[in-house]
Amino acid sequence: MKSFTVSRRSMLLASAASVAALGIDGAAQAPRPPKPQGDPQPGPPTPDQIRRLAWWRAARFGMFIHFGLYSVYGRQEWAMEKEAIPISEYQQLAKRFNPQPGAARAWAKLAKAAGMKYMVMTAKHHEGFCNFDTKLTDYSSMKQGPKRDLVREYVDAARAEGMRVGIYYSLMDWHHPDGAKCAIDEAARKRFVTYTHGLVRELLTNYGKIDVLWYDGSSPLNAEQWESERLNRMMFELQPDILVNNRNLLPGDFSTPEQRIVAAAHGAAWESCMTLNQSWGYDSADDEWKSSRTIVQNLISCARDGGNFLLNIGPKGDGSIPEETVRILTEVGRWLETNGDTVLKSDPCQPWRPSYAGFTRTGNTLFMHVYFWPGGDVSLSGLQAKVKSARLLKTGQPIQFTQDLYRVHLVGLPMEPPDFPATTIVIECDSVPMQNSDPELRLAKPRGGVGIEA
């Protein structure tokens, strides 16, 4: 391998040059595009969006799959950039990229077992390697590595398990010769946008019905420079029912809060995407796994606020799924077998206290999902609706309770949690369950002879 040493002087010169490029010392600035101001948010859904979003809102829970050359390297999908790996060195990973046949089928089976209803797989991540058959570059899984069309295998596998099919596509590209240059050179931008639109066209032409196009990585261009309006028009010509996210810098059909759960304003559709450990792409050293309880909690929080949950897996380079991933998703799936309808078919819900439980609702029925089982009794404060009955979902056991203005007190419960990783209590009410947790209530509360009555 060619090696070279970097003198202190050349390092200083290089950093002086980059400072100059930033215009910090007043040197002539290279033309730079305006920085994108964060992803735009979709507004209230239009009738056409309501129609296209119907299956997606009902699906609620999906699997995100980050898979590419970085899966072989095993240090997350940003390794190429974060470790400044030279392109010539990085692309050698393709030689070792040879996922087992049937790997995608195992992902889809796991998604189904976990109670998920759709999948979104990386067709091309920021590294630039295309996991599909394309006429536009040789940097693809068809021409290198496995010499197979991995998107085809994924699409077929997802459909075989009854999953809706989403495709992730990174606009940003660290490998393409124009991927960085496009920011400062108009001819390069034109070439790169033609390439980008061309790849999207292939993805939306060659694989039958695609349900979601999940853009990412809009750097270094803005919506106008990506020609995103034209891109979306082409997408809807090719796939009239498709859903598109907001990361090609147009509002799209749904917003994409990342690693956090934040409901969108105006009833707009939103999907929280999250990792299962701390990495999207496979990281052999990352053992920071979330528990199945945390996943159930997050799914409940999304459902409570009317959003979707897209949970990531990062298969290894051979396509196999890390053991912990299988264990966690299987536990979640088992819980959903009994509790699924209370989460996946619920309406937005207002109650939120106490902190050891989460809530979902269907009509007048409140589902209290207790994460940290306190023992023989469970309480709920400030419920405005009158409780008609309560029972444990897992066993059907009816629950005795008392209710006054301030508290519903559920008693006679088992000391050990009847379900894992959360126990659902079904609380039938006489109207839509709302909770009043207003601190003002304390003023009105009778003191029962303790201290001085107001």
Residues of the shown chain interacting with ligand GLC in the complex, contacts defined by CB under 6 A: 77-78, 216, 258, 273, 280
Nearer to ligand GLC, 76 or 365 (CB): 76
Least distance to ligand GLC, CB of residue 168, Å: 7
| 3-state SS class at 109 | helix
Residues pairing with 106 in the sheet: none
Q: Are 376 and 369 in contact (CB under 8 A)?
A: no
Least distance to ligand GLC, CB of residue 245, Å: 9
Residue nearest to ligand GLC (CB): 280
Q: Which region, left, alpha or beta, applies to residue 38 given φ > 0 means left and ψ of -120 to 50 means alpha? A: left
Nearer to ligand GLC, 122 or 292 (CB): 122
DSSP classification of residue 60? -
* C-alpha closest to that of 178 among 220, 139, 214, 149: 220
Least distance to ligand GLC, CB of residue 40, Å: 16
Least distance to ligand GLC, CB of residue 28, Å: 32
Nearer to ligand GLC, 245 or 423 (CB): 245
d(CA 405, CA 237): 57
Q: Which region, left, alpha or beta, applies to residue 320 given φ > 0 means left and ψ of -120 to 50 means alpha? A: beta
Nearer to ligand GLC, 73 or 280 (CB): 280
Least distance to ligand GLC, CB of residue 412, Å: 46
Helix, strand and coil content of the chain, in percent to the nearest 5, comes to 35, 20, 50
Q: Which amino acid is at 385?
A: A
Nearer to ligand GLC, 216 or 286 (CB): 216
Least distance to ligand GLC, CB of residue 68, Å: 10
Nearer to ligand GLC, 172 or 368 (CB): 172
Q: Could you give the strand order of the β-sheet that contains 407-411, starting from the edge strand earlier in sequence?
A: 378-381, 407-411, 400-403
